[in-house]
Amino acid sequence: MKLSVIIPTYNRADVLSVCLEKLAVQQVDFSTGSEPWDFEVIVVDDGSSDNTKIQVQNSKLKTQNRIQYIKQRKSHQGTARNRGVEVASGEIIVFIGDDIFVEPEFLMKHHDRHVEHSDENVAVLGFTTWDPNIKINGYMRFLESSGWQFGYKFLHPGMIGRAEPFKFFYTSNISIKKSFFEKEKFNEDFVFYGWEDIELGYRLWKKHDMQVYYEPQAIAFHHHEIHPSDLSKKMRDVGKSAVHFQRLQPDIQIIPRGLKSRILRLVANKWTLPLFRIFGKQIYYKFKSWNEFMRGVDSQ
């Protein structure tokens, strides 16, 4: 078995170099009695103007003959990931980001779960948390605990028994059989941040009965500081992407409608938001996020 790690990147050469260093020291353990396995890394440069190519060429993965570099015109992550899968030679596709730093047993955990759950429709979700080497602020803690970015607190190890496992199709740390991925692929028309991975997960689940196995020992650290000042743009973009998702998949409701929409607009507006500060930053971030999300929706 071979794993292909797909990494889209854009002008983050320094961070990417660390990402590649972590992959170069992965444990490939043959002692468990399973068939031998290996991996490759495919970096898809989405129009970078920095020294991304040089960092790839200087990577230890290059001397290991385990890395490919592809450069394309500036597009979007979905396009880059699709391109990476096209040239991948592995039976298992592992999606991470260029700012994801993985633990030494990361790929082995993904591999072992796919050996145990060999059905084509089973994907494996690993655990992602903030890199402890960066300054983690209150907004980042909110993103991790609220479900806006990750919803790991809702999960237990093993097969996700929730009715909608597609909601956990996180491309920061997920693996999938290549043959299964090719049934759908990423929609390349998403132009704003958010939802493109969940939308793909939805199609795979709805049309092909995708199941997701949660392996918390496949650990990855997200090396990306997000400041409270980034909240407005981030959540407006999420709202804009949600509109595109809703147009593609009108049979599922992801944008609040009816009474819920009216309540959110009544409660989370520019006049009432300052009042939520007295209840603490986490409550404020919650309603501020909804306010900016709905503003993004309304702009489309």
> What residues does each domain of the chain span?
2-222, 228-298
209, two tokens: 């009965």
Chain centroid to CA 197: how far?
7
pLDDT of residue 222: 97
pTM of the entire predicted model: 0.93
From CA 242, how far away is CA 244, in angstroms rounded?
A: 5
* Residues in CB range of 102: below 8 A, 6 or more apart: 19, 22, 23, 26, 96, 173, 219, 220, 221
Find where tokens 């996700």 sit: 160
Q: Average pLDDT of each block of 10 consecutive residues along the chain (300 residues)?
A: 96 97 87 74 96 96 96 92 97 98 97 96 97 95 87 92 88 98 96 93 97 97 96 94 96 88 76 79 89 90
Single-letter amino acid, residue 165: P
In this prediction, residue 268 carries a pLDDT of 73
Residue type at 51 in one-letter notation: N
Report whether 249 contacts 166 (CB < 8 A): no
pLDDT given at position 261: 80
pLDDT attached to residue 239: 94
Secondary-structure percent of the chain, ordered helix, strand, coil, rounded to 5: 45, 20, 35
pLDDT for residue 33:
52
Which distant-in-sequence residues (6+ apart) come within 8 Å of 133 by Cβ? Answer: 223
Query: Which fold would CATH assign to domain 2-222?
Result: Spore Coat Polysaccharide Biosynthesis Protein SpsA; Chain A (3.90.550)
Q: How many CB atoms sit inside 10 A of residue 102's CB?
A: 24
- pLDDT the model gives residue 34: 60
Give strand pairing partners of 158: 214
